[in-house]
């Protein structure tokens, strides 16, 4: 278990509640959780500690929204995401924590800028309908999830640009992250990011993720799409700025 003081444990547990909440409620909360987690733990260590807990949230999300996935879109994305994960694994081996945080922050801000420009074009001409854009989104998401567990904002922006309804967004995201996070496990073990110590940490703190997931299920039916999108984008920008600083 990491040697943390009371305040740091409070940040960690709050972050894990946000992780669960992001899986069944507002997805942008997960990016804030990743940024908070990195405040009290080194970036590389935090990614390994967080991955098993993300999988806990993914299982709950799939159980909740499994019938609402857009499988044709997911199948188009998966090969590109896998390529991004492999590229991210190579980068993790060579860069330090500061370089990795800044790289992910820059990617997130670029994705937000493209989304805001794309939204001004209208739904019929949305870039999300182009295969090349799906490929780029998949590669960036795979790279970001392998380096910093930060694919959530990229996928959120891509799926929002595609005009998906809220439940479709949640169901597609749930299956996407369960599959990709499971795919990342062998790479994380090989890089020394997942160890017996990180698994013990996950077992001890998983109830915080489950509590957050339960809270997300309670509030999701009361959230309208416009508010949902604005909160997701705002939290993504804040997290990206935090990673850059």
The Cβ of residue 203 has, within 10 Å, a number of other Cβ atoms equal to: 12
pLDDT in the model for residue 80? 93
How would you classify residue 192: left for phi > 0, otherwise alpha for psi between -120 and 50, otherwise beta? left
Confidence grade of residue 35 (pLDDT, cut at 50, 70, 90): confident
In this predicted model, what pLDDT tens digit does every residue of 189-231 receive, in sequence order? 988 889 898 899 889 999 999 999 998 888 877 776 677 667 7
Please tell me whether residue 160 adopts helix, strand or coil conformation. Answer: helix
Q: Tell me if 1 is assigned to some domain.
A: no
At a CB cut-off of 8 Å and minimum separation 6, what does 21 contact? 29, 212, 213, 215, 216
Confidence grade of residue 83 (pLDDT, cut at 50, 70, 90): very high
Q: Which residue's structure tokens are 């499971």? A: 182
Report field, pTM of the whole predicted structure over 0.85: no
Q: Tell me if 88 is assigned to some domain.
A: yes
Q: Tell me if 218 is assigned to some domain.
A: yes
pLDDT in the model for residue 82? 93
Q: Tell me if 91 is assigned to some domain.
A: yes
Q: Tell me if 85 is assigned to some domain.
A: yes
Q: Tell me if 131 is assigned to some domain.
A: yes
In this predicted model, what pLDDT tens digit does every residue of 96-142 receive, in sequence order? 777 777 776 787 677 677 667 766 665 555 555 667 777 888 898 89
Domain count, the chain: 1
Q: Tell me if 191 is assigned to some domain.
A: yes
**Which residue from 214, 196, 192, 216 is spatially nearest to 204, judged by alpha carbons?**
196
In this predicted model, what pLDDT tens digit does every residue of 156-192 receive, in sequence order? 778 877 777 778 888 898 999 999 999 999 988 988 8
SS (H, E, C) 80-112: HHHHHHHHHHHHHHHCCHHHHHHHHHHHHHHHH
Boundaries of domain holding 106 = 6-244
pLDDT in the model for residue 124? 53
Q: Tell me if 142 is assigned to some domain.
A: yes
Q: How far apart are the first and last CA of the chain?
A: 28
**Cα-only R_g, the chain:** 17
How many angstroms separate the Cα of 86 from the Cα of each of 79, 158, 169, 184, 189? 11, 21, 25, 9, 14
**Which residue from 79, 91, 111, 105 is spatially nearest to 183, judged by alpha carbons?**
79
């Amino acid at each position: 278990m990491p040697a943390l003081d009371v305040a740091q444990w409070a940040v960690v547990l709050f972050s894990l509640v946000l992780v669960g909440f992001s899986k069944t409620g507002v997805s942008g909360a997960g990016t804030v959780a990743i940024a908070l987690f990195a405040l009290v733990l080194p970036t590389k260590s935090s990614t390994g500690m967080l991955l098993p807990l993300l999988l806990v949230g993914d299982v709950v999300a799939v159980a909740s929204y499994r019938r609402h996935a857009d499988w044709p879109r997911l199948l188009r994305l998966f090969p590109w995401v896998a390529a991004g994960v492999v590229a991210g694994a190579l980068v993790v081996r060579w860069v330090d924590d500061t370089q990795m945080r800044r790289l992910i922050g820059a990617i997130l801000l670029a994705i937000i800028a493209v989304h805001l420009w794309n939204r001004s074009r209208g739904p019929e001409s949305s870039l999300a309908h182009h295969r090349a854009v799906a490929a780029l989104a998949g590669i960036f998401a795979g790279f970001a999830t392998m380096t910093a567990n930060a694919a959530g904002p990229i996928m959120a922006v891509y799926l929002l640009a595609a005009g998906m309804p809220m439940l479709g967004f949640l169901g597609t995201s749930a299956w996407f992250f369960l599959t990709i996070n499971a795919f990342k496990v062998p790479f994380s073990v090989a890089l020394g990011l997942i160890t017996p110590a990180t698994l013990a940490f996950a077992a001890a703190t998983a109830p915080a993720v489950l509590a957050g997931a339960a809270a997300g299920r309670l509030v999701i039916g009361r959230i309208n799409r416009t508010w949902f999108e604005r909160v997701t984008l705002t939290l993504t920008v804040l997290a990206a700025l935090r990673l850059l600083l």
